[in-house]
Structure 1
Amino acid sequence: MTTTTKSQYTALYAEHEKLGASFTDFGGWQMPLKYSSELAEHHAVRRTAGLFDLSHMGEVWVSGPDAGAFLDFALVGKLSAVVDGKAKYSLICNDEGGIIDDLISYRRSDEKYLVVPNAGNAPVVAEALAQRAAGFDVVVDDQSAATSLIAIQGPDAEAILLALVPAADAEAVCSLKYYASTGITVQAGDQDMDVLLARTGYTGEDGFELYIPNAQAAALWTALLAAGGEKLVPAGLACRDSLRLEAGMPLYGNELSLDIDPFSAGLGPIVALSKPGDFVGRSALEGKKASGAGTTTGRRLVGLQGTGRRAGRSHYPVTLDGNVIGEVTSGAPSPTLGYPVALAYVDVEHTEPGSEVSVDLRGRPEPFTIVELPFYRRVK
């Protein structure tokens, strides 16, 4: 007997259909994979700007007098130390130190935070936060189903957004720092919308993410496309993946999972073992760090740069002298750089930058070099 999971659709699904999008299932959501050419969309984000529907992501509000202390307990980072208006990248782990999800938390005030988990993990993270809230004076409010998220990414993102922002809010947009958020008004047609604006993204470019109620999503999407003209293209998940890979950003399910610890993933610095008190997974993570996970034992996430033309793909073996020393987690030809790139977990003794390895491309070894991440860094 088989069961089928009902697909979910964002508030912008009809807009994507009008634009001729090709759809794919992602975390149970029907999301635009591309609209025309994924390569053209990739280059648009690097050169001008791209517009993404990220409404499949989760939005969980945590509020109350113990909000900071609660997130210090629930997540591996020290969220209570974040200043109002700033954001922090963190992880939520299980008791064994495995990664449930990576997420961004925005501190809106000392008693109010917005936690944004990844699409497929949003229900799991919301449930975990609700369970961990016992004993804390907080309210965990999952607003994922009622919230849309639109991202505009690329060198022209700020100028395009400013075309829809009243003069009184223009300085708030221009002065907003990376990993910070603010409330602004956006004028979309005959509507004035209150938007939570964050200068964050998953592309390696400058850009913004805009949080709004579902009912306003279509008007905002249409207004941004009109304001951007030829400099703004709708962009799908295909180019989002190639953009984040060039930027060396991990994807849950590829580089991160319950079987991976933060130290092996190169995320040890965000685990705040120095913060006072207990947090979920602390004991296990202390043990993993003490054992040298990702530094002297096991495998560590590295970047691979191809010297040939063929790209390594997820699960392809990484070899040295015919012996398997690792496994590719993500890989593709880099549209920006012009050569293949990949992320891979490799035995720690072979992770020195400049080391020459091979990737087994279906029985044929292809040469790669271990390099520092990210592969691509924008010029500021």
Structure 2
Amino acid sequence: MSDLKRTPLYKEHLRLKGKIVDFAGWEMPLQFDSIIEEHNLVRTKAGLFDVSHMGEIEIVGPAAISYSDYLVTNSVATMKNGEIVYSPMCNEKGGVVDDVLVYRISNNKTLFVVNASNKDKDYDWIHKNSKDFEVQVKDVSDNYAQIAFQGPIAEEILSEISQVRLDQIPFYHFAEGRVNGIKALVSRTGYTGEDGFEIYTEPDAAVPLWRKLLEIGGPKGVKPIGLGARDTLRFEACYMLYGNELNDQNTPLEAGLKWTVKFDKNFIGKDVLAKQNEEGTEYRLKGIEITGKAIARHGYEIVDGDNVIGWVSSGLFSPTLGKSLALAYLKKDYWKLGTQVGVSVRGKVVPATVVKTPFYRGSVKSKG
């Protein structure tokens, strides 16, 4: 008997012949078609993702905003209701407990959307640190199914069945209303580099909504997309993957996320990050382009002659750009664009060059 968890859409994935794998303790579809074809579909049209495995943690009470602000490095206090912020949530040493989306629901309620693999750890962390704040912390993950609809034509298709005015939802904002007659929270967010939405519903409502989107989107090319393409898409856009780019050792400043750290407020880990901000970091996450078609995998060493100068956090052959690319933590002397480095690939050193990130900018709306 499997101990793996299943989302409300699990049977749909079987029906659509998805290749099921174990992902963070969940039975999830890796792919339905080829990963490359699914990737290209999202870049050019739109694709449908089951992200119901993500965790949702609610903070409710008079101090919900101030406590949420204390938990994360970015600012919740300056947000308006209906806005969302992306942020690392740090430990006392400045390492990243998780990277989260914080939805400001009201003046006394926020919703943290957290990575599936970290959900229990995050809940314990948020609960443990809440003692001095007048709040209640609730794991409400079982109350939600989540569908992501991503791609340049996502708004055009979703607007056919949405009673929520999608054109009135700016990037990193959300609205509550009905989609296909189903009560939903709709946010203009995603993990692909393309425009799109993430739709939160009650679990029982997930299957009818999923089927409806495939029905109305099918004639325009819409298909279900698995975790494989989700990773290649996020990589090209240089979105962080916890366990690769982020962990409880490396800090947001090392990960190139200084823009998410607001030093004009108090938060867990601030002292360490403030010192690091003043003195600089030894390593920083950078983009590199590998000569030829060798793939730089997670954990491969970056070298300069006999010296190890860093390590790869994520790497693949980019379907959109036709290049072998990687995100890597590099020592300070190697950060400049155009710097030549080597990647140790199965015992052979392959030349690579430090390049600008993000590797790809798509139809995703900007915040400005």
**TM-score, structure 2 as length reference:** 0.95
2:210 to 197, 200, 221: 221
Give a deviation string over 1:93-129, Cα, whole Å, max 9, x none.
1111111100010112222211101110011111211
Counterparts of 2:207 and 2:174, CA distance in 1: 22
Specify the SS of the correspondent of 2:132. Answer: coil
Contact 1:181–1:199 at 8 Å: present in 2 too?
A: yes
Contact 1:326–1:347 at 8 Å: present in 2 too?
A: yes
Q: Which stretch shifts more, 195-204 or 354-363? A: 354-363
Q: How does 1:155-194 map to 2 (within 5 A)?
A: 155-166=152-163, 169=164, 172-187=165-180, 192-194=181-183
Specify the SS of the correspondent of 1:14. Answer: helix
Counterparts of 2:88 and 2:292, CA distance in 1: 35
Counterparts of 2:239 and 2:24, CA distance in 1: 18
Q: Which residue of 2 aligns with 1:209?
A: 198
> Any gaps of 5 or more consecutive residues in structure 1?
none
Deviation at 1:306, TM superposition (A): 2.2
Give a deviation string over 1:36-91, Cα, whole Å, max 9, x none.
21111000000001100001101111122211111121222221111111111111
- The one-letter amino acid of 1:315's match is G
1:273 to 263, 281, 303: 263
Deviation at 1:289, TM superposition (A): 2.5
2:288 to 304, 308, 313: 304
**Does residue 253 of structure 1 match 2:253?**
no
Q: Which residue of 1 aligns with 2:88?
A: 91
Counterparts of 2:89 and 2:50, CA distance in 1: 24
Counterparts of 2:159 and 2:267, CA distance in 1: 41
Deviation at 1:366, TM superposition (A): 1.7
Q: Which residue of 2 aligns with 1:149?
A: 146
**TM-score, structure 1 as length reference:** 0.92
**Does residue 314 of structure 1 match 2:295?**
no
State percent identity of aligned pairs.
40
Shift of the 46–130 alpha-carbon distance from structure 1 to 2, 3 Å rule, reads same
- The one-letter amino acid of 2:61's match is G
Counterparts of 2:4 and 2:15, CA distance in 1: 19
Specify the SS of the correspondent of 1:59. Answer: strand
Counterparts of 2:71 and 2:362, CA distance in 1: 33
**Does residue 68 of structure 1 match 2:56?**
no
1:138 to 101, 114, 135: 135
- The one-letter amino acid of 1:283's match is D
1:8 to 5, 8, 30: 5
Specify the SS of the correspondent of 1:378. Answer: coil
1:79 to 76, 80, 84: 76
**Does residue 235 of structure 1 match 2:225?**
yes
Deviation at 1:164, TM superposition (A): 1.1
Counterparts of 1:288 and 1:7, CA distance in 2: 40
Deviation at 1:284, TM superposition (A): 2.3
Deviation at 1:173, TM superposition (A): 0.6
Contact 1:246–1:334 at 8 Å: present in 2 too?
A: yes
Counterparts of 2:15 and 2:124, CA distance in 1: 35
Counterparts of 1:234 and 1:154, CA distance in 2: 12
Counterparts of 2:276 and 2:25, CA distance in 1: 33
Deviation at 1:5, TM superposition (A): 8.2
Shift of the 5–373 alpha-carbon distance from structure 1 to 2, 3 Å rule, reads farther
1:57 to 39, 49, 54: 54
Counterparts of 1:80 and 1:139, CA distance in 2: 18
2:186 to 177, 197, 204: 197
Q: Which residue of 1 aligns with 2:334?
A: 350
- The one-letter amino acid of 1:163's match is E
Counterparts of 1:182 and 1:28, CA distance in 2: 31
Counterparts of 1:154 and 1:270, CA distance in 2: 25
Aligned residues: 363
Q: Which residue of 2 aligns with 1:361?
A: 345
Contact 1:5–1:28 at 8 Å: present in 2 too?
A: no
Specify the SS of the correspondent of 1:81. Answer: coil
**Does residue 289 of structure 1 match 2:277?**
yes
Counterparts of 1:372 and 1:146, CA distance in 2: 41
1:375 to 341, 359, 368: 359
Counterparts of 2:84 and 2:334, CA distance in 1: 35
Compute the RMSD of aligned alpha carbons. 1.5
Give a deviation string over 1:234-270, Cα, whole Å, max 9, x none.
0000001000000011100001001111111111221
Counterparts of 1:135 and 1:46, CA distance in 2: 46
- The one-letter amino acid of 1:13's match is Y
Counterparts of 2:309 and 2:267, CA distance in 1: 33
Deviation at 1:206, TM superposition (A): 0.3
